[in-house]
Amino acid sequence: MGRRVLITGGAGFIGSHTCLVLLEQGYELIVLDNFDNSSPEALHRVQELAGSKQLAVVKGDVRNPDDLDRAFQTVDQVDGVIHFAGLKAVGESVAEPLRYWDVNVNGSRVLAAAMERHDCRTIVFSSTSTAYGEPETFPLREDMATAPVHPYAQTKVAVEQLLTALCSSGPWRVATLRYFNPVGAHPSGRIGEDPLGIPNNLFPFITQVAAGRRERLNVFGQDYPTPDGTGIRDYLHVMDLADAHGVALEHLWEQEPPYPLTLNIGTGRGLSVLEVVKGFEASTGISIPYDVVERRAGDVPRLEACPQKAKEILGWSPRRGLAEMCRDGWTWQQANPMGYRGGT
Ligand code: NAD
Ligand code: UD1
Clarify whether 132 is annotated catalytic: no
pLDDT at 336 over 80: yes
> Residue 300: inside a domain, yes or no?
no
Whole-angstrom CA distances from 50 to 17, 42, 78, 137, 334 are: 11, 12, 21, 42, 22
> Residue 191: inside a domain, yes or no?
no
Q: What is the pLDDT of residues 50-100, one digit of tens each?
A: 997 799 999 999 999 999 999 999 999 999 999 999 999 999 999 999 999
Substitution candidate for ligand 2 out of 181, 205, 214, 274 with most atoms within 8 A of CB: 181
> Residue 109: inside a domain, yes or no?
yes
pLDDT at 17 over 70: yes
> Residue 252: inside a domain, yes or no?
yes
Question: Residue 265: helix, strand or coil by DSSP?
Answer: strand
> Residue 132: inside a domain, yes or no?
yes
Q: What is the pLDDT of residues 20-44, one digit of tens each?
A: 999 999 999 999 999 999 999 999 9
Active-site choice (27, 100, 132, 152): 152
Q: In this predicted structure, what is the pLDDT of residue 343?
A: 52
Q: What is the pLDDT of residues 123-178, one digit of tens each?
A: 999 999 999 999 999 999 999 999 999 999 999 999 999 999 999 999 999 999 99
Chain centroid to Cα 206, Å, comes to 19
The answer, yes or no, to whether any atom of ligand 1 lies below 6 A from the CB of 128, is yes
> Residue 321: inside a domain, yes or no?
no
* Separation CA 54–CA 47 (nearest Å): 8
Instruction: Please report, for the domain that includes residue 251, its CATH number.
Output: 3.40.50.720
* Separation CA 4–CA 335 (nearest Å): 32
The stretches of 170-307 forming alpha helices (DSSP H) are 202-210, 238-254, 273-284
The answer, yes or no, to whether any atom of ligand 1 lies below 6 A from the CB of 31, is no
pLDDT at 198 over 80: yes
The answer, yes or no, to whether any atom of ligand 2 lies below 6 A from the CB of 74, is no
Question: Is the pTM above the cut of 0.95?
Answer: yes
pLDDT at 344 over 80: no
Measured from the CA of 273, which atom of ligand 2 is nearest? 29
Split into its structural domains, the chain has a count of: 1
The answer, yes or no, to whether any atom of ligand 1 lies below 6 A from the CB of 266, is no
Residue range(s) defining the domain that contains residue 152: 4-182+237-266
* DSSP string across 11-40: TSHHHHHHHHHHHHTT-EEEEEE--TTS-H
Q: In this predicted structure, what is the pLDDT of residue 1?
A: 64
